[in-house]
Structure 1
Amino acid sequence: MVSFPKIISVDDHTVEPSDVWRNRLPAKFHGVGPRIVRAPVKGMTFEGGRFAPVMGTPGDDGPEADWWVYEDLFRPLTRLDTAVGCSRDEVRLEGITYGRMRPGSYSVPDRLADMDLNHVQSSLCFPTFPRFCGQTFAEAADRELALLCVRAYNDWMVDEWCGPEARGRLIPLAIVPLWDAELAAAEVRRNAARGVRAVCFSEIPPHLGLPSVHSDAWDPFLRACEETGTVLAMHIGSSSRMPSTSADAPPAVSSVLTFGNCCFSLADWLMSGKLDRFPGLRLMYAEGQIGWIPYVLERADTVWEENRGWGGVADKVLTPPSELFARQVYGCFFDDAFGLRNLDAVGVGNVLYETDYPHSDSTWPRSRQVAEEQMAHLAPEVVERVVRGNAIELLGLTPEGLWAGARA
C-alpha cells in the first residue's frame, strides 16, 4: 500500500521501572512493598504452562538478574518480558537486568521512538510485574498494602507512563483489587474520572480462586465498567495458567495454544447472561488472535438454539450469542492471515490490531509490513477500521487517535 494508516496497538506491555512503588507507597511499606533486588538465577523452568524461577543468593553460581521481591514472591525480569531487538535464536528463558533490555521497555521517550520505528501512533500497555490483570496483588496476604499497590500502579500509569511526556500516544490501562468487587468498582470509577477507559480482567477468574462470571459476585464491578464506558481488557495468561497438555510439555505447546484461554473465556461470557444484563459492557481479548472466532460463534449459536432448554441458559441468555459478540466483544490480533481472510465471519467492527511490543511474539519493527501483507486484499476503509478506527471508537480516543486525558 502506498499509504498505510498509523497503527493504534491495543496490546503492548510496559516493564515497570524499579521505583514505581517505592515512590508512591507510604514510608512504612518501603521495606515490604514491591522492590528490585539483584541476585543470581539458580534455575528457571516453564513447563506445563507454568513459570518457576529459583532465586539464588550473592555468591551463588548463575547469571545475575533483577528480581521483583514482594511478600513471598520472587520474580525475575526475563528475556521473554522484553525480547525486541534480539534475534529469535537469542530469545531464551533467562533472567536479565534492566541494563540488558531495550530501554523502550520501561522509558517513555524510548518507547515513543520505538513506536515511530514501527509506524505506531498510539499504544495500550498491559502490566508486567502485577501480571496481566493485577493478580500479583490479589494473591498477597496484606490486603491493605495490596490495595495501595494497585492504586500506586494506576497513579504511575496515568501520571507518568501516559503523562504529558507521552503526548497522548500512550493509552492508560488500569488494574483493580480483584479480591473485592466493590473496591474494584470504586477503582474503576476513580480512574474513569481522569479519563481511563480500559481495565484489566482475568479471562478465567476461577483459575485465580475468584468467582466465575456465571455468578453475581462481579456485578458491582461490571456495572461500574458499563456506566463509565470502561472496557474489560483480557490478555492471554491473565488467569495465571496457559493452555498446555501435560506437565512435561515444552513451552512451544503453550505458545501454539495461546488462543485457548480466550476461546474458553468467550464461551463463558456468551453463556453467562452478563452481556444481556449489561448491554453497554465491552470486552476485548488481547493477543488471542481471531481465526478461531467464527467456529466458536457458530457452535454457540447452535447450542443456544438447540440445547438451551437443558443447557441452563434459556432464562438468562436472551440474545443469540453471535449477536452478543457483534455488539459487545472485540478480538485482537498481530499476525493472523487466516483470520483476516475470514474477516467478514468475525466482523469488521469487532477486531483490533496490536504489536505485542516488547514480547517475543512481537512483530516490531515490521508491524506495518506484516499488516500490509496480510491485509492486501482488504479495501482501504476496512484496513483503516481494523488498524485504528475501531480502537478509536472503543477506547474513546480523539479523532486523531490520541488519549485526550493527557491534555486535560
Structure 2
Amino acid sequence: METFPRIISVDDHTVEPPNVWRDRLPSAYRDRAPRIVRAPLESMTFVGGRFAPRMGEPGGEGPIADWWVYEDLRRPLTRLDTAVGYSRDEVRLEAITYEQMRPGSYSVPERLADMDVNHVQSALCFPTFPRFCGQTFTEAKDRELGLLCVRAYNDWMVEEWCGPQAGGRLIPLTLIPLWDAELAAAEVRRNAARGVRAVCFSEIPPHLGLPSVHTEAWDPFLRACDETGTVIAMHIGSSSRMPSTSADAPPAVGSTITFANCCFSMVDWLMSGILDRFPSLRIMYAEGQIGWIPYILERADVVWEENRGWGGVADKVLRPPSELFREHVYGCFFDDAVGLRNIDAIGVGNVLYETDYPHSDSTWPKSREVGEAQMGHLAPDVVERIVRGNAIGLLGLTPEGLWPGPGGGAG
C-alpha cells in the first residue's frame, strides 16, 4: 500500500498518574480517595477470568509494586496494564511500579511520541484504575465520594490528559456514576458542554448488579447521550467478568474468546428496543474485533423474522436487527484479517480501527504494518474510512482528525 492513512485509534488506554484524585478532591476526602501506596506483592492469580491480587505489609517480603488503595480495594499496577516495549515472552502476570512501565502509559508528551512512532494521529483512551466503565466507583461503599471521584477523573481527562499539551490528538472519554441514571445523565451533559463526545458504559450491566438494557431504567442516561451526540463506548471486560469456560481455565482461554462479551451485549441492544426509541444513539464495542459480526446479524434477522411473535420483541423491535446495526453500532478491531475479508457483510461505515496501546495485545509499534498487510485488498477510500474517516464523523473530530477542544465537536 503506497500510503497508509494516519491512524485514529478508538481504543487505547491511559494509566492514571498518582495525583489524579489527590489533586482534585476536597481536602476532607483526600485521605480516603484513591491513592498510590508502594508495598510488596504477596500473591496474584488470574484464573477463570478472575483477577485476585494480595497486598503484603509495607516493608515486608515480596516484589515491590505500586498499589492503588481505595476503601477496601488494593489493586496493583501490573505488566498487563502496560506491556508495550517488552517481547511477548517477557509479558507475564506481575506487579510493577511506575518506574517499570513505559512513560507513554501515563505521560502526555511521551504518549504523543509513542503515537508518532506508531503512525497514530489521535487516540481515545479508556481508564485503568477506575476499570473500563468506572465500576471501581460503583462498587465502592461511599457513593458521595464515588461521585466526586467520577467527576475528578473526568476533569483530569478533559483538562489535563486531553488538555492543550495534547494538541487535540487525545480524545476525551469520560465516566458516569453508574448507580444513578439521573446523575449519569447530568454528567453526560456536563461533559458534552465542554466538547466530550464519548462515554464509557458496561457491556452487560447486570453483571455489575445494575439494570439490564431491557428495562427503561437507563432512559435518562440514554436520552442525554441521544440529545448530545455522545457515543456509548463499551470495552471488553466492562462488566467485570471476562468470558471463560471454567473456574480453572487459564487466561489464554478467556483471551481467545474475549469477543463473546461484545457479541452478547450487541444482541441485547439490538433486541432491546432502545435503538428505535433513541434514533440518534450510537454505540461502539472496543477491542471486540469484527469477524463474528456477519453471522450474528444473520442469525438475529432470522430470529426477528421467524420468532418475534413468541420471542418477546414484536412490539419493540420494529425493524430487522441488521438495519439497526447499520445505523447505530460500530465494531472496533486491531488485528482481524477474517473480519476485513468480510467487510462488505459488516459494512464499511460500521468499522473503526484501534491499537490497544499499551496493553499486551497492542500492535504498537507496528499498527501501520498490520493494517497494510490486512487491508491491502481494499480500495484506498475504504481504508481511509476504516482507519480514520468513520472515527472523525462518529466522535465529532475536525476534518484533520483532531479533538476540537472544549465546546467543539458535533452537537
- Output the TM-score relative to the length of structure 2: 0.99
Cα–Cα, structure 1 residues 22 and 311, in superposed 2: closer, same or farther, change >3 Å?
A: same
| Corresponding residue SS for 2:360 | coil
Structure 2 CA distance, aligned partners of 1:143 and 1:192? Answer: 23
Q: Is residue 48–residue 246 contact of structure 1 (8 Å, CA) maintained in 2?
A: yes
Structure 1 CA distance, aligned partners of 2:58 and 2:406? Answer: 43
Residue aligning to 1:70: 70
Does 1:207 find its partner at 2:207?
Answer: yes
In the TM superposition, what is the alpha-carbon distance from 1:407 to its structure 2 partner? Answer: 8.8
Does 1:273 find its partner at 2:273?
Answer: yes
Residues 68-217 of structure 1: matches in 2 within 5 Å?
68-217=68-217
Q: Is residue 195–residue 407 contact of structure 2 (8 Å, CA) maintained in 1?
A: no
Does 1:343 find its partner at 2:338?
Answer: no
For 2:223, the aligned partner's letter is R
Structure 2 CA distance, aligned partners of 1:311 and 1:129? Answer: 39
In the TM superposition, what is the alpha-carbon distance from 1:406 to its structure 2 partner? Answer: 5.7
Q: Is residue 188–residue 199 contact of structure 1 (8 Å, CA) maintained in 2?
A: yes
Residue aligning to 2:303: 303
In the TM superposition, what is the alpha-carbon distance from 1:60 to its structure 2 partner? Answer: 2.5
- The Cα offsets for residues 218-248 of structure 1, whole Å up to 9 and x where unpaired, read as 0000000000000000000000000000010
Q: Is residue 81–residue 359 contact of structure 1 (8 Å, CA) maintained in 2?
A: yes
Structure 1 CA distance, aligned partners of 2:268 and 2:3? Answer: 40
For 1:132, the aligned partner's letter is F
| Corresponding residue SS for 1:405 | coil
Residue aligning to 1:258: 258
Q: Is residue 233–residue 286 contact of structure 2 (8 Å, CA) maintained in 1?
A: yes
For 1:394, the aligned partner's letter is L
Structure 1 CA distance, aligned partners of 2:263 and 2:198? Answer: 21
Residues 315-334 of structure 1: matches in 2 within 5 Å?
315-334=315-334
For 2:291, the aligned partner's letter is G
For 1:365, the aligned partner's letter is P
Structure 1 CA distance, aligned partners of 2:61 and 2:160? Answer: 37
The number of aligned residues is 408
| Corresponding residue SS for 2:405 | helix
- The Cα offsets for residues 344-377 of structure 1, whole Å up to 9 and x where unpaired, read as 0000000000000000000000000000000000
Q: Is residue 196–residue 406 contact of structure 2 (8 Å, CA) maintained in 1?
A: no
For 2:384, the aligned partner's letter is E
**Could you tell me the percent identity over the aligned residues?**
82
Structure 1 CA distance, aligned partners of 2:206 and 2:73? Answer: 21
- The Cα offsets for residues 83-123 of structure 1, whole Å up to 9 and x where unpaired, read as 00011111001100000000000000000000000000000
For 1:398, the aligned partner's letter is T
Q: Is residue 262–residue 288 contact of structure 2 (8 Å, CA) maintained in 1?
A: yes
Structure 2 CA distance, aligned partners of 1:385 and 1:352? Answer: 8
Residue aligning to 2:282: 282
Structure 2 CA distance, aligned partners of 1:327 and 1:62? Answer: 52
Q: Is residue 168–residue 406 contact of structure 1 (8 Å, CA) maintained in 2?
A: no
- The Cα offsets for residues 161-217 of structure 1, whole Å up to 9 and x where unpaired, read as 000000000000000000000000000000000000000000000000000000000
Q: Is residue 84–residue 359 contact of structure 1 (8 Å, CA) maintained in 2?
A: yes
| Corresponding residue SS for 1:177 | coil
Structure 1 CA distance, aligned partners of 2:279 and 2:320? Answer: 13
Q: Is residue 164–residue 407 contact of structure 1 (8 Å, CA) maintained in 2?
A: no
Residue aligning to 1:247: 247
Does 1:377 find its partner at 2:352?
Answer: no
Q: Is residue 173–residue 197 contact of structure 1 (8 Å, CA) maintained in 2?
A: yes
- The Cα offsets for residues 21-69 of structure 1, whole Å up to 9 and x where unpaired, read as 0000000111100000000011000011010000001233210000000
Structure 2 CA distance, aligned partners of 1:62 and 1:46? Answer: 18
For 1:299, the aligned partner's letter is R
Structure 2 CA distance, aligned partners of 1:406 and 1:105? Answer: 24
In the TM superposition, what is the alpha-carbon distance from 1:81 to its structure 2 partner? Answer: 0.2
Aligned CA-pair RMSD: 0.7
- Output the TM-score relative to the length of structure 1: 0.99
In the TM superposition, what is the alpha-carbon distance from 1:279 to its structure 2 partner? Answer: 1.1
| Corresponding residue SS for 1:94 | coil
Does 1:234 find its partner at 2:234?
Answer: yes
Structure 2 CA distance, aligned partners of 1:198 and 1:224? Answer: 12
- The Cα offsets for residues 277-308 of structure 1, whole Å up to 9 and x where unpaired, read as 11110000000000000000000000000000
Q: Is residue 230–residue 282 contact of structure 2 (8 Å, CA) maintained in 1?
A: yes
Q: Is residue 193–residue 407 contact of structure 2 (8 Å, CA) maintained in 1?
A: no
Structure 2 CA distance, aligned partners of 1:318 and 1:59? Answer: 62
For 1:224, the aligned partner's letter is A
Structure 2 CA distance, aligned partners of 1:25 and 1:383? Answer: 44
Structure 1 CA distance, aligned partners of 2:59 and 2:151? Answer: 37
Residue aligning to 1:363: 363
Structure 2 CA distance, aligned partners of 1:240 and 1:170? Answer: 26
Structure 1 CA distance, aligned partners of 2:11 and 2:329? Answer: 15
Structure 2 CA distance, aligned partners of 1:279 and 1:60? Answer: 57
Q: Which runs of 5+ in 1 are unaligned?
A: none
For 2:111, the aligned partner's letter is R
- The Cα offsets for residues 378-401 of structure 1, whole Å up to 9 and x where unpaired, read as 000000000000000000000000
Residue aligning to 1:57: 57
Structure 1 CA distance, aligned partners of 2:40 and 2:225? Answer: 42
Structure 2 CA distance, aligned partners of 1:87 and 1:5? Answer: 27
In the TM superposition, what is the alpha-carbon distance from 1:2 to its structure 2 partner? Answer: 1.6
Structure 2 CA distance, aligned partners of 1:331 and 1:200? Answer: 15
